[in-house]
Amino acid sequence: KEILNQVDANATALAITDSCQHFAIGQEDGKVVIHAAGRDGESHALATGLGHITSIAFGKKPEFSKVDGRKRSHWLLATADNVGTIIIWDLADYTPVSMVRGIVHQVNGVKFSSHGSMLASASHSYVQLWNPYNGGHLLTLHHTHRRQGLAFSSDDAMLVVGGAANPGNSPAEQV
């Protein structure tokens, strides 16, 4: 095995695409850098203007070609920070698609559904579902414990949420 790409950065959050073609690094200064995987992969920096980046996630965005009508995909990226802001970026042109507002605590985790139609966020004692294309709020689930781990099933029918109630105890719940 060999190291294909090494980046000197103070990483506070990491994500990689399902295809392993791109990875992203979130930093304390609110910057997120997207890298093409492999030797000499190009990179692109996003200046979020946010606080400390706490979580990032890639999600697929379905697209339809105007030439042949076949379904195509490219990537979305969700960036979350320690003051409760989430920005969803379209990585085809590195522009913001939407901004999620209304989270009052640090965002501990973000995860796109497998089809890219929902974004889940975990914070202090909340799990929330959002429309990634307009930032619209879909659902809030209240919990008594800090939440951070999120995983959607491959058919998006189930969301598993993890967190910690007490030191040494990490409950996971199906939603």
- Any bridge partners for residue 81, and if so which? 53
Single out the residue of 131, 119, 102 nearest to residue 56, CA to CA. 119
pLDDT tens readout for residues 127-146: 899 999 999 999 998 876 66
Distance CA 69, CA 64 (A): 6
What is the residue-averaged pLDDT of the chain? 82
Encode pLDDT of 100-130 as tens digits. Answer: 877 778 899 999 999 889 999 988 878 899 9
- In the chain, how long is the greatest CA-to-CA distance? 56
If you ran DSSP here, which 8-state letter would residue 169 be given? Answer: B
C-alpha distances (whole Å) from 7 to each of 19, 33, 45, 53 are 20, 10, 13, 17
Q: What is the DSSP letter of 101?
A: -
